[in-house]
Amino acid sequence: MLALAALAAACGPQVQTTVRATGPLPRPDRILVVDFAIHPGEVRLDSGLRGRLTQAFSAETTTEQQYQAARETSAAATGALAEALPAAGIPAEHIAGTAPPPRGRLLLLEGQVLGIDEGNRTRRRLVGFASGMSSVEVSAQAWMQEPAGGRRRLESFVARADSGHRPGAAGMMGAGALAGRLATSAVIGGVGGAAMTSRGSDVGEARRLGQALAEQVRRYFAQQGWTG
């Protein structure tokens, strides 16, 4: 059990800083979190039994399903980032990606969803231990916009989160019970095809990425002496 707990704890978001500006800067007047940009082509849909049933019972095209997954992931990441910053004492505002930023000395937090892999939910839930793993990868940038309109990039990040190495249901039951559960899941999924379009792991991973990025921004504020 201790080993399983260690595996679960080791699969937190990974954030790599690729650019960091040095030197003191004036504190921004406002901090704006902009919706992360998305591209449906970067989405790999669920390849498991649930995903196949969803596509069979849904009237949406694959591209529409990819767009929906990308949009929900973007909303989860930016929403978590905008929520976590005020909790850390940084008053942030969330604006749409299509909205032009106002004038003034602004800190703009922007990003792009680089990839979504919904994995294989059936294998993930029944086998676990990274089998059928889902993942989300984003890039993010912090820009200082001056009152005159010029921009300076302060930091850039690449961040990734996945569903980790948690055990699945197979370790908790015998082969017969496992087969019965799989059959029951298929029947329930077939009856409730519309309900299966709701997402779980990738949205949760996107929220964890947003929270991890907020921690990076908090550290930058502390280094600049903008906190307090």
170 in helix, strand or coil? helix
What is the reported pTM? 0.74
Residue 80's pLDDT is: 97
Residue with tokens 């908090």, as numbered in its chain: 218
- Cα separation, 112 vs 38, in Å, equals 6
DSSP state of 173: S
101, burial (CB in 10 Å: exposed 0-12, middle 13-18, buried 19+): middle
pLDDT tens-digit map of 56-111: 666 577 788 889 999 999 999 999 999 999 999 999 999 987 777 788 999 999 99
**For 21-43, how does the pLDDT look when each residue is reduced to its tens digit (9 = 90+)?**
877 889 999 999 999 999 888 88
Per the structure block, which two tokens stand in for 87?
């909790």
Name the token pair of 166. Answer: 């948690």
Question: What is the spatial distance between Cα 158 and Cα 180, in angstroms, rounded to a whole number?
Answer: 42
pLDDT of amino acid 182: 47
| Interval 171-185 mean pLDDT | 50
Task: State the average pLDDT for the chain.
Answer: 78
Question: What pLDDT was estimated at residue 157?
Answer: 93
Q: What was the pLDDT predicted at 7?
A: 39
Q: Do residues 64 and 41 lie in contact, with contact meaning Cβ atoms separated by under 8 Å? A: no
According to the model, what pLDDT value does residue 138 have? 95
pLDDT given at position 107? 96
Q: How many separate helices (H) and strands (E) can be counted in the chain?
A: 6, 7
Which has the higher per-residue pLDDT, 5 or 30?
30
User: What pLDDT, on the 0 to 100 scale, is given for residue 196?
Assistant: 40
* Cα separation values, 157 from 74, 77, 176, 209, Å: 16, 14, 47, 11
Confidence bin at 53 (pLDDT 50/70/90)? low
Residue 9: what pLDDT?
Answer: 43
Cβ 159 vs Cβ 209: under 8 Å = yes
- The predicted pLDDT at position 227 comes to 80
CB-facing half-sphere around the CA of 60: CA atoms within 13 A: 19
Tens digits of per-residue pLDDT, 116-128? Answer: 988 877 776 666 4
pLDDT confidence of residue 1: 36
If one compares 202 and 13, the residue with the highest pLDDT of the two is 13
Q: Tell me the average pLDDT across 166-184.
A: 50
Domain spans of the chain? Answer: 2-218
Q: Band the pLDDT of 49: cuts 50, 70, 90.
A: low
